Amino acid sequence: MSNEDKRADEIVEETMKSIYEDLDNLAKEEEHSESGEEFERELEEEQEFEEPEETEAERAYRKHKFRKKLAIIIGSIFGVLTVVYVGIALYFGSHFMFYTKINGTDFSMKNVAEVEKYMEQQVADYVLTLKESDGDVEKINGQNISLTYVPGEELKKYVKKQNNFLWITSLWDHPEIEASVGVKYDKTKLSEVIVALQCMKAENQTASVNAHPEFKETQFEVVPEVIGTQIDTEKFTEEIKKSLDGFQPELDLLKNGCYILPKFVSDSEEVIKAAENMNSYLGAEITYDFNPNTEVVNSAVIAQWITVNDDMEVTFNEEAVKTYISSLAEKYNTKGKPRQFTTATGNTVTVEGGSYGWRINQEEEYNLLIANIQNAEKVTREPAYSSRAASHGAMDVGNTYAEVDLSNQKAYFIKDGQVVLSSDVVTGNPNRGNATPQGTYTLTYKTRNAVLRGDRRPDGTYSYESPVAYWMPFNGGIGFHDAPWQSSFGGSRYKSHGSHGCINMPTQKAKEMYDLISDGTPVICHY
């Protein structure tokens, strides 16, 4: 016992002795007073007129004297309580306060030496129990890592850190101290032990799963998170060392954050907001018009496209959306595809090639479709096209078009299904490599009084220059035009006097064609 502790005990003993003496004297005086009053009353009865009655002043003085002594005694009691409180405070200057736990063990009223002695005794048989989330338990034996106790200054710091004059608060606060009390172990052995734990093996670890929205029948609902068994190695090692330093009997891996936990849980604001956004997208409905057919993108389709990324941002499965748009293109595109075509003469031919036909602009359509969904729009519209045709029917050229029969050297104009123009023509000379290509095209434009020119020579002149009155191109530099230099049309003349690919026509027929045809009119060239 320190000198301070001995002095505190002496003060308490002396003060209590004084209080007991004062209380004893006060009791005797009170007893004497009461017996005196009783005797006086008896005398008063026998000698009522022999002695005068006690005056009010005398009675008041006697009561004042008694209260004064009582106050002194109460003051003495308060004083001794103060001394006792201070004495206990001095005691806790070197001892841990009531109900104090260090690393889970009760060390109430123990000094540092006693705590260190306990710690040292525990080292020999120390075992750290690891409680895993799946209910399994593993142990780290102190002997396996050469664990030894090393006295330090930390416990002394905790004693000094206590506000010992507020020791009474410990009666209800029950102080708990997590302390590194000083141990030494072989770090290499500890690392080996940790690596060898079953919970550290890859096959025993499963990743946590974030809470996330998932489509259920009619809407997206939040699916709760799943806590896996994937170890946060750095955190796990850190918590093991902390437990060893504090002689902790066990380490709960889940409570101490040793697992890689889900980033988002069921009540995470990000998850709830994501589900709300996804459900709002389900309100969209896009009806594609492929007259007479339609294709509908509704909630059932949209639900398959919406997803969330690792940051709980709502995204779209771009590949799935583009695959859908590609399927529309495969079904409804006609540009570049072979066509079964009924000629003006009633024959059925297959026409391949050309620039005419339906073609969906898939990239543009993707952006439009996503925007429709994000805005929860209900719309009926055509897809975005890079190329259009007259009809979605089997004959996408419709019933108004120009026809060039390359085999028979004839040109026709069909209006509303009726042949309104027929003309002999001279097409490209195949013997000079200028054969007119077959295919389905679109009239680019038409103009009067143009000069058709061939390739440009190095000197700036052209291989040919042919003024024409009517010019109607449909395939680059190939088009309908008048050809007054031709002495005849039709037959096999094209094989010897054919053009560079254009459709040569008599001037009057070229004028009629010019008056009938308009920009965008389909032109079909076939054999």
Four-residue CA torsion sign, 113, 116, 120, 122: positive
Are 411 and 503 in contact by the 8 Å Cβ rule? The answer is yes
Residue 149 CA from chain centroid, whole number: 47
Contacts of 173 (CB under 8 A, 6+ apart): 99
One-character DSSP codes across 229-293: --B-HHHHHHHHHHHHHTT-SEEETTTTT-B---S--TT-HHHHHHHHHHHHHTT-EEEEEETTE
Question: Where would I find the beta strands (DSSP E) of 309-464?
Answer: 314-316, 339-342, 348-351, 359-360, 378-381, 385-387, 401-405, 410-415, 418-424, 439-442, 447-453
* Backbone phi, psi, residue 7, to 5°: -65, -40
| Contact criterion met (CB below 8 Å) for 274 and 263 | no
CB atoms within 10 A of CB 397: 25
pLDDT of residue 161: 81
Residue 240 to residue 140: CA distance in whole angstroms: 9
| Interatomic CA distance for residues 215 and 234, integer angstroms | 37
Q: What is the pLDDT of residue 197?
A: 96
Which is nearest to 497 in space by CA: 486, 483, 505?
486
What is the predicted pLDDT for the residue at 25? 57
For residue 292, whether the previous peptide bond is cis, meaning omega lies within 30 degrees of 0, is yes
Angle between the N-to-C axes of helices 318-332 and 362-374, in degrees from 0 to 180, rounded to the nearest 10: 120
* 420: Cα within 13 Å, side-chain hemisphere: 16
Q: How many helices (H) and strands (E) does the chain have?
A: 13, 28
Q: Chunk the chain into consecutive blocks of 10 residues (it has 527) and report each block's average pLDDT, rounded to whole numbers.
A: 50 52 53 48 49 71 77 78 79 83 83 80 86 94 91 78 80 80 87 96 95 95 95 96 89 95 95 97 97 96 95 96 98 94 95 96 98 97 96 92 98 97 98 96 97 91 93 97 97 97 98 97 97
Q: How much is the pLDDT for 36?
A: 47
Q: What's 398's DSSP letter?
A: T
State if pTM tops 0.75.
no
Opening angle at CA 196, ends 192 and 198, nearest 5: 155
Task: For residues 372 and 319, give the distance between their C-alpha atoms in angstroms, rounded to a whole number.
Answer: 18
